[in-house]
A and B are shown apart, each in its own frame.
Chain A
Amino acid sequence: MAAGTAMSSYWRGVRDGLPFLAVVGPFAMLFGVLATEAGLAVHETMGFSIVVIAGAAQFTALQLLNENAPTLVIIASALAVNLRMAMYSASITPHLGSLPLWKRGIAAYFLVDQTYAVSLIDYEKNPDQTTAEKFAFFLGVMTPICPPWYLFTFLGAVLGETIPSSFGLDFALPIAFLAMIGPMLRTPAHRIAALAAVVLALAFAWLPFNAGLLVAGLGGMMAGAQAEVRLGIKP
């Protein structure tokens, strides 16, 4: 019976992750095209998408490679962009922390913006799931997001400059993130956290190395936690 519920959790995850294919496809393809234009070979471009598997960090590294920045600056900047992954890791640990180490390793490798956000929304909406069901759901979400990330990077790298850079493609990523925010605003504390984060992100956007994102993320988390205590909101 346990295997059956895990299986249905998996398919529920696939269903919830599927819309993001529409974003991941073009975004990965764009990376493949730009990497090829920057002079990377197909296997090097694939190396990025498989080893690093983090869109924003990959684009940052590519941008700095184009500018001939020093190796250390490239690594530090791209990792700074990815620092939010440590926050995701902490945030998902209460849900997946009791899994065997190798499964936690798999979850860590596939922990990207979309898999994290979609899973968290589901874990909060359906708090009575077992850890096995939560892990199955996570793998389900990952299925239409991560393997296509490799596949479309490859297509972009191979097809390269034959693809016209259509207007609006740059905005696919913001649209995907914006779509996820509404369903997250469940309580006044969530709304206060989001509002504080937006104000701080805009106020500190001038900071180098994307540090504004970290200031805003931490500030928003503190605002949410404070609001929860002061307003006596049940989490």
Chain B
Amino acid sequence: MSDTTQLWVIIIALGLGSFGMRFAFLGLVGDRAMPEWLLRHLRYTAVAVIPALVAPLVVWPTATGGEPDATRLSAAVATFAVGYLTKNVFAAMGVGAAVLVTLSALL
């Protein structure tokens, strides 16, 4: 298999697979009622998956080879704290980016 063929096999398989997963429930379940226990679990999807996605990236950043890093940790804490206290996503991102840039320049 040539490199180009392999690459397009990967791109198309990933595209079909990703769309399949995104369409799985939206397309197949649609407006049929889902059981209450399932809905109760689904209510916590975002609030479970997003923190689970981000926690290892904060504690073991890829850029430092997995070593915990004071700059990134401070920026993470600041971002979360501002988001939690103000409920404002934009303010949280702004403060987090400012802490990251400032500490990167200082340290």
Q: Chain A 37-75 against B: per-residue CB contact (8 Å), 1 yes, 0 no?
A: 000100010011001111011100100010000010011
Identify which of A4-12, A105-113, A155-163 touches chain B: A105-113
B41-65 near A? 1/0 per residue, CB < 8 Å: 1111111111111111111111100
| Chain A residues whose CB sits within 8 angstroms of the CB of B39 once the complex forms | 94
In the complex, which residues of chain A have a beta carbon less than 8 angstroms from the beta carbon of B88? 183
Any B CB within 8 A of the CB of A212:
yes
Residue numbers in B under 8 Å from A189 (CB-CB): 44
Q: For residue B62, which residues in chain A have a CB less than 8 angstroms away from its CB? A: 170
Q: Which of B15, B32, B48, B72 is within 8 Å of A221, CB to CB?
A: B48
Collect the chain B residues with CB atoms within 8 Å of residue A23's CB.
Answer: 93
Task: Identify whether the interface residues of B are mostly helix, strand, loop, or mixed.
Answer: helix
- Interface residues of B, CB < 8 Å — how many? 77
The reply to whether A180 and B83 contact each other, CB–CB distance below 8 Å, is: yes
Closest to B88 in A: A183
> Complex formed: what's the CA distance from A121 to B59 in Å?
26
Given A88-B45, A90-B24, A98-B30, do A200 and B76 touch, yes or no (CB 8 Å)?
Answer: no
B29 within 8 A of A: yes
Q: Are B12 and A51 in contact (CB under 8 A)?
A: yes
Name A79's closest neighbour in chain B (CB-CB).
B17
Structural contact, B30 and A217, CB atoms closer than 8 A: no
Binary contact readout A201-229 vs B (1 if CB under 8 angstroms, 0 otherwise): 11001000000110011111111110011
Q: What string of 1s and 0s marks CB contacts (under 8 Å) between B5-20 and chain A?
A: 0111111111101110
Contacts of A224 in B (CB 8 A): 41, 43-44, 47-48
Q: Is the CB of B55 within 8 A of A201?
A: yes
CB distance from B98 to the nearest CB of A (A): 10
Q: A92-B26, A97-B29, A201-B56 are in contact. Are A180 and B8 (CB under 8 A)?
A: no
Is there contact, CB below 8 Å, between B42 and A183?
A: no
Docked Cα-Cα span, A223 to B48, in Å, equals 9
Contacts of A139 in B (CB 8 A): none
29 contacts between A and B (CB under 8 A): A19-B93, A52-B15, A57-B18, A85-B21, A85-B22, A88-B49, A89-B24, A91-B45, A91-B46, A92-B25, A93-B42, A94-B42, A104-B30, A121-B46, A170-B61, A170-B63, A174-B76, A177-B53, A179-B96, A182-B83, A184-B46, A189-B44, A190-B47, A194-B48, A205-B56, A213-B53, A218-B48, A220-B52, A223-B48
> 5 additional contacts, CB 8 Å, given A170-B63, A182-B82?
A90-B38, A113-B53, A205-B60, A224-B43, A224-B48
